[in-house]
Structure 1
Amino acid sequence: MPSYKLTYFPVKALGEPIRFLFTYGGTEFIDNRFNEEDWPKIKPTTPFGQVPMLEVDGKKVAQSTAISRYLAKQYGLAGKDDWEALEIDSTVDTIHDLRANIAAYQYENNETAKEEKLKRAKEIVPYYLERLDAQVGKNGGYFVGGALSWADFVFVGVLDYLNYMMKENIIEKYDNLKQLKQKVEEIPAIKSWIEKRPPSDL
């Protein structure tokens, strides 16, 4: 069994889907959370100056989506054939597009530009959520193939981060997405993880 160490900020955000996957798979991993002030020391030790970073038997790899896909394949959460794998990939990329649109507003320091980006986010977020909600409705309560996949973990894992950035519960009006969140959070392994993980807003 390889040894796994996940290095990330002390928040859920992009690290949480990976933590969900490890937990679901019943795989031991070191959940290495560092404080903001230690980032300048850690950054040069990462492959491309970014986290999450996963170490597998000491070998380092970056990119949260690639890490999640790698684990999902091991736990049978990457679709039952190439077409489903493609649909899952496409959904995950869409979720990250949604995140990028919200983050563009959240991390903008120029006030005028920030207002513009907030206006854009307020238009684009419902546009994405309506479609994602309909997708879950058509697929038996999951994003793809009527079954749990890593796309579901990505969405539910980053949701607190999206809500934090938008300062609201963005899925309030979307029943299929609300039910998906509940389903994922009620998986026994995930439920026990949520109860014991360190608290954070995002």
Structure 2
Amino acid sequence: MPGPFTITYFPVRGRCEAVRMLLADQGQEWQEDVVTMDRWQKGELKKSCLFGQLPKFQDGDLTLYQSNAFLRHLARTYGLYGKDQREAALLDMVNDGVEDLRLKYAQLIYQNYENGKAAYVEALPAQLCPFETLLSQNRAGQAFIIGDQISFADYNLVELVRNHLVLAPGCLGSCPLLAAYVERVTSRPRLRTYLESATHRDRPINGNGKQ
């Protein structure tokens, strides 16, 4: 049996919120080891981390770094990696596309928010278009991003799109399938309960207050 699970991270949603969403939707419990900046700056925890960075994820005696490794590990554990190798390959492609957009988002938030936000928001519909296209190719947008069952890539994509809806509330105006998909996924009972909880709502999206 997997677990117990522990997420070691700063007091933000950041790169762990998709993992939390997956665990909540799969009915799993986890612990949070919340790292303050004072604790991090002391250096001992940083030295113990394989790549010198957080987050860290523990599944029993298995310790992982890199948030996408967490997602893929949990996907294999809970059958969230597609029904066959073809779907698994497509899900890897989708998730890499999500990460490309996440990196652009992080660069905006942490490096160029004031000067770059307008241009970023203007370009955003084109950045979201590939996901709209993928949805249109899968049961006319009435299923998940790939196949007929939820996957790790769905949690990662939905979490990032929800962040963008805070940044640019109208960003899905040209992506009706993506908008409906986000609403459909976040309406799953256990996931909705988590997203409506104070645990989620009170945790900042990013570490610098930008969103």
TM range (shorter): 0.7 to 0.9
Alignment of 1:1-202 (within 5 A): 1=1, 2-41=3-42, 42-108=45-111, 114-115=115-116, 119=119, 121-122=120-121, 124-140=123-139, 141=142, 142-163=144-165, 167-169=167-169, 170-196=171-197, 197-198=199-200, 199-202=202-205
TM-superposed deviation, 1:156: 1.4
Cα separation, 2, equivalents of 1:24 and 1:186: 10
Contact 2:186 2:192 in 1 (8 A): yes
TM-score by length of 2: 0.81
How far apart, in 2, do the equivalents of 1:91 and 1:31 lie?
Answer: 28
Query: What SS class does the counterpart of residue 7 from structure 1 fall into?
Result: strand
SS in 2 for 1:107: helix
Distance 1:105 1:194 in 2: 25
Contact 1:7 1:53 in 2 (8 A): yes
Shift of 1:157: 2.0
Aligned-partner Cα distance in 2 for 1:35–1:134: 41
Contact 2:55 2:67 in 1 (8 A): yes
Question: In structure 2, what residue type is equivalent to 1:133?
Answer: E
Q: For 2:29, what is the secondary structure of its paired residue?
A: coil
> Runs in 1 of length 4+ with deviation above 6 angstroms?
none
Superposed CA RMSD: 2.4
Number of equivalences: 196
Q: Is the 8 A contact 2:4 2:60 kept in 1?
A: yes
Task: Identify which range, 135-144 or 65-74, moves more after superposition.
Answer: 135-144
Counterparts of 2:39 and 2:177, CA distance in 1: 40
Counting aligned pairs with the same residue, the percent is: 28
In the TM superposition, residue 59 of structure 1 has moved relative to its aligned partner by 3.5
Distance verdict in 2 for CA 1:45–1:118, change over 3 Å? farther
In the alignment, is the contact (CA less than 8 A) between 1:13 and 1:158 conserved in 2? no
Distance 1:47 1:195, change over 3 A: same
State the AA in 2 paired with 1:149.
S
- Deviation, 1:57, is 2.1
CA deviations over 1:143-176 (Å, ceiling 9, x no partner): 1013321111111123344445xx3133344211
Q: 1:58 to 1:44 in 2, by over 3 A?
A: farther
Q: In the TM superposition, what is the alpha-carbon distance from 1:109 to its structure 2 partner?
A: 5.7
Structure 1 spans left out of the alignment, 5+ residues: none
| Inter-CA distance 105–30: structure 2 relative to 1 (3 Å threshold) | same
Tell me: CA distance 1:179–1:38, structure 2 relative to 1, closer, same or farther (3 Å).
farther
